[in-house]
């Protein structure tokens, strides 16, 4: 017996047309795979609020010439060292650097780390990419 369940979905015609254009632009081969990804995405978001442990990445773009910026960022990273599992530093050009931190820990602590880094004067852009540990998402 198959483990796949089939069900029907009713949508407004205009919404379905927009959805079809979206999934075509993202190279999905069918609506089912697009729906599965949307469901997984929502489950990952829920995991970030309900789980004891999450995983993700913090990315930062900053001007490394800004006085004391690098030291401040390093101090924050040491303060949150228990949830940083890896870091990578990339020189974009003469002035700008990209820092990527792989993070794992409680949702609250990971978000505090991300917010602390983003708030530092001289950080030009920062994102927290939420992912899943893979447990509970099939």
The string of DSSP codes covering 77-128 is: HHHTGGGEEEEEEEE-SSSEEEEEEEEEE-HHHHHHHHHHHHTSTTEEEEEE
**Predicted confidence (pLDDT) at residue 75 exceeds the cutoff of 70:** yes
Average pLDDT over residues 27-56: 85
Identify the DSSP state of 5: -
Instruction: List the beta bridge partners of residue 109.
Output: none
pTM of the model: 0.74
pLDDT of 47: 76
CA nearest neighbour of 105 among 121, 122, 128: 128
**How crowded is residue 55: how many other Cβ atoms within 10 Å of its Cβ?**
21
Domains of the chain in start order, with CATH, are 13-50 (1.10.1220), 54-131 (3.30.70.1150)
Query: How many residues in total does the chain contain?
Result: 138
Task: Tell me the per-residue pLDDT of 82-134, one tens digit each, with 9 for 90 and over.
Answer: 999 999 999 999 999 999 999 999 989 999 999 999 999 999 999 999 887 77
């Amino acid at each position: 017996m198959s483990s796949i369940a089939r069900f029907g979905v009713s949508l407004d015609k205009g919404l379905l047309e927009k959805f079809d254009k979206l999934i075509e632009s993202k190279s999905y081969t069918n609506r089912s795979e697009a729906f599965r990804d949307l469901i997984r995405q929502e489950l990952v978001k829920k995991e970030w609020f309900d789980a004891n442990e999450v995983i993700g990445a913090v990315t930062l773009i900053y001007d490394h010439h800004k006085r004391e910026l690098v030291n401040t960022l390093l101090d924050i990273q040491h303060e949150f060292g228990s949830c940083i599992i890896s870091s990578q530093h990339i020189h974009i050009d003469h002035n700008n650097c990209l820092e990527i931190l792989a993070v794992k820990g409680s949702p609250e602590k990971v978000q505090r780390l991300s917010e602390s880094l983003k708030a530092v004067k001289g950080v030009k852009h920062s994102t927290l990419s939420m992912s899943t540990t893979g447990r509970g998402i099939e």
